[in-house]
Amino acid sequence: MLAIFLKTLPFFGLIGLGWFAGRIRFFPPEATAWLTKFVFYFVLSAMLFRFTATLPIEELFDPAFFAAYLTGSGAVWLIGFAVARMQSRPLAEAAMEAHTAMTGNTGFLGVPMLVVLLGPKAAGPVLMVLAADMIVFSSLITMVITAARHGRIALVPLALGLVRNPMIVSMLAGLAWAGLHLPMPAPLSEFVTLLGAAATPGALFAIGASLAGKSAERVGPALWLSAAKLFLHPAAVALCALVLFPVEPFAAGVMIAAAALPVAGNVYILATHFAVAPQRVSTAILISTAFSILTIPGVIAWVTR
């Protein structure tokens, strides 16, 4: 446990450095926004393209893996939704709380950290988790909120949102490259490797800098959402991956570790865009990220055994 904690400490150290730079305004919000855009559109896209273009296709399409993750995450979504509705939350707010309870920071934290900690073989399972979160659950929250507000599902904006997401585009491009069995030219390989190498420090620093501007408001609901994300989500996914579905043990461990990640920053972007519970989501991101310094090493130590 101590050894795993020490291995994860540098990653959270980078988050802390970003938070400190943002807190003292050496790195102002405008700089954080531009760094986040650089990481989102260029750095992570290069890393995801390299992973998907060089991985065997069978490592990215495991029906049992998707079934286990979607079932476990869907169960947490329904629990979060039910709890919110029992507290008389409007439909849109209940959906946003449910989304917060099961959407981890897989892109900015999971991809860089878990591949380093668990080895290159973890790339395939992490990418499957990322794809499920972005395609299935991001679509679900968008459909529920638009239907609650307008009485119908806006399919065109939903489709445009998916195709404009650079992480989805880069993964699809990589899958097409791998599916066509195209050789990777040395200059292109070196280019995406060099650019993708900035993903770990850039993404983690950006997470910390973005947290510096968040304050703890609506702490009560945020504590429940943080607990659901850090404990309930990995537990539900573990039950599905280890008991209900025949998921290969290493891939199951990566899935559980990914489910233990704190609330994703893009949930706050959605909450702000739709003007649905942004304070609650912001506080949940802050609390879950802080506590994940202790919870993630424990989960990784368990799955590696």
Domain range summary for the chain, segments of one domain joined by +:
2-304
Q: Which fold has domain 2-304?
A: Na+/H+ antiporter like fold (1.20.1530)
Which residues make Cβ contacts (< 8 Å) with residue 162, sequence separation at least 6? 134, 135, 138, 139, 168
**206-255 pLDDT per residue, tens:** 888 888 877 666 688 899 999 999 999 999 999 999 999 989 999 999 99
pLDDT of residue 270 exceeding 90: no
Instruction: Write out pLDDT tens, residues 155-205.
Output: 776 677 667 778 888 988 998 898 888 888 999 999 999 998 888 898 889
How far is Cα of residue 259 from the mean position of the Cα atoms in its chain?
Answer: 9
Where would I find the H helices in the chain? 2-23, 29-38, 44-54, 63-86, 91-102, 111-118, 123-131, 138-150, 155-163, 166-179, 186-196, 199-212, 219-227, 233-239, 249-259, 265-274, 278-304
Gap between the terminal Cα atoms of the chain: 11
CA distance 115 to 201: 14
Q: What is the pTM of this model?
A: 0.87
